[in-house]
Structure 1
Amino acid sequence: MAGKPINPTLKMALELGPIILFFVGYLKFRDQSFLIGGTAYDGFILVTAAFVPLIALSSFILWRLTGHLSKMQIATVVLVTVFGGLSVWLNDDRFFKMKPTMIYLLFGGVLGFGLLRGQSYLKFVMEEALALRNEGWMILTKRLTAFFIGLAVLNEVIWRTQSTDTWVYFKTFGLTAAVFLFFMTQAGVLSRYAIEEEGEDAA
């Protein structure tokens, strides 16, 4: 089910808005400390506490408008809630920094499990958006599996070895750019294994 169409700008705002607001909030509060209930919380934890309900709300609005959320979107909201909640509850930013690792390991693991069974689970998710022959789906799935695992490893390296500032920039811009560039570089596979429309065959 693809869901009801909505304005592309609104869709992008709902998907990227929480991430952008997290980044802006972090820049504003990163050097501040807040005493709440006798416990001191730094700006990162405070912004994380705001980000969790914000992404849940934006996803709910997207679902209400389209009648559909992808399994990836649902998994992302769940993991953000779990790891963001742990960071706030335990006042420890490491849990939230682990969240991208868990997300990409989950996606890569699911796709990899499908490959072991000789199937492309990516096809089940994206076949309404892309018309590819099975060979194309398998190639794209193998590459995306490796890509997700690579992002998980990279996130671990960044948050464990670099400053929080560096990780926030990486999460906000680096991961988004990496996903965009990955699909841009797959143009050859998408064109080589595309299924032509019947009208094009007749022409």
Structure 2
Amino acid sequence: MQGDKIDLVFLDIQMPVISGVEFLKSLRNPPSVIFTTAFSKFAMEGYEFNIIDYLLKPITFERFNQAIQKFIERTATTAAETRSSNHLPAYTFIKHESGFIRIDYDEVNYVVAEKDYCTIFFNTGKKLLIGMHLKLLEGMLPGNVFVRVHRSYIVNLKHIKLIKGNIINIADDEIPIGANYKVALFDKLQLP
């Protein structure tokens, strides 16, 4: 058990001997942290440590679930970025019908969610319907190449021709930019 890696810690800020913040400062390679406390005045201090979330007691199940979803999203993004930075192949295999189909990242323009399925649009003009949720596919794609721009769309940054207002143009197709995704997209593209 001692050698096991800890992925996530729920850490109370006010503890008897040492504060949660002091404990976090003492760790060489801290895991992801969600702070918990009964006092909202400590919230800003927690964000200095790039914590996942801050839960105010009493914690509702809905709020707990939101924090876990933030952790899952950050972990998926980090995993995709790690895969891409380790010079892994520029493709992935996705389950399709009775086998697996190779998807080359450079050939993908964008992906659209359609309930329990996704349609992948390629720069060759072809498209492929796969039985996979967008969230799962997003975790498989490298974060330095692909970015979620809407709750229903992931785009390949290399194929963006124009961004105007809340619309992205890729290969004569217009893709909406969701309000919740615009800042992350602009940060990734280093736009003002």
Superposition TM-score, scaled by structure 1 size: 0.25
Name whichever structure is richer in strand by fraction.
2
Higher helix share: 1
- Greater relative contact order (CA < 8 Å, ≥ 6 in sequence): 1
